[in-house]
Amino acid sequence: MESLSARELLHAWELGHSRHPVEQSLLLLGAVRPDLDREALSSLTLSERDRLLFRLREQMFGTSFAAVSLCPECGERVELAFRTADVLHDQLGSIPEPIDFQVDGYALRVRRLNSVDLASAAGLHDLDAARYFLIERSIISAEQDGRSVHVSDLPSRVMNFISEQMAEVDAAANIQLRVTCSACAHSWNETLNITTFLWTEIEGWAYRTLRDVHQLASTYGWSESEILAMSAWRRHCYLRLIGK
């Protein structure tokens, strides 16, 4: 995986700042994996995609995470602190595709989801409808007693089973943080979406960097290209000299 220069990261942020998170993730990965074309990136399973995003985040901001959540019971702010290794675990061995399941007399063959699937579901504003749509997309075939069964005829318990199993095999794309409120002791799960988390950090970095460029350009008359070509440490030293 290639590292991004300040100029390259600003360019990716500029292209993706108003786009859907699925598109933002592909823009970032396209910048650090130029060896993979758009189709190849879109075809990565969500776990594969998110593992690459975690690696990119480590390169840019390190392995430590800090976040804030609001307790759904009492509204208290709860601070979260963890590291990449705490939430991202290596899977032992490779998971073959397609994946076969047996449940309640049904033989199911499914595949893991990718960014194409998420983009197709992006227009569905109802979460239950989007969830059902994605489960349907993951099903390659379903049989009962050797006879093919249409996806729409599968009972809800089978669809829920598929959803649960796919969350396990694609664990890196379904990271749940167990949170406990120190004020009321209520516990709940928070989903860690690495795309939105990383993009929020990039956006904060981008605005800080543009502010620094503005201050240095105003003081020294340097161009944006000249300032971005400097290391972050060198820019910091010049900013200290002008009292910023």
Q: What is the pLDDT of residue 92?
A: 44
Q: What is the pLDDT of residue 168?
A: 86
Q: What is the pLDDT of residue 91?
A: 53
Distance, C-alpha 142 to centroid of its chain: 30
Q: What is the pLDDT of residue 90?
A: 63
Q: State both tokens at 21.
A: 């998170």
pLDDT tens-place string over residues 13-36: 999 999 999 999 999 999 999 999
Instruction: Report yes or no: 130 and 121 within 8 Å, Cβ to Cβ.
Output: yes
Report how far apart, in Å, the C-alpha atoms of 150 and of each of 7, 69, 124, 163 are. Answer: 50, 41, 22, 17
- Check: pTM over 0.85? Answer yes or no: yes
Q: What is the pLDDT of residue 99?
A: 92
Q: What is the pLDDT of residue 94?
A: 59
Low-confidence ranges of the chain (pLDDT < 70): 90-95
Q: What is the pLDDT of residue 2?
A: 80
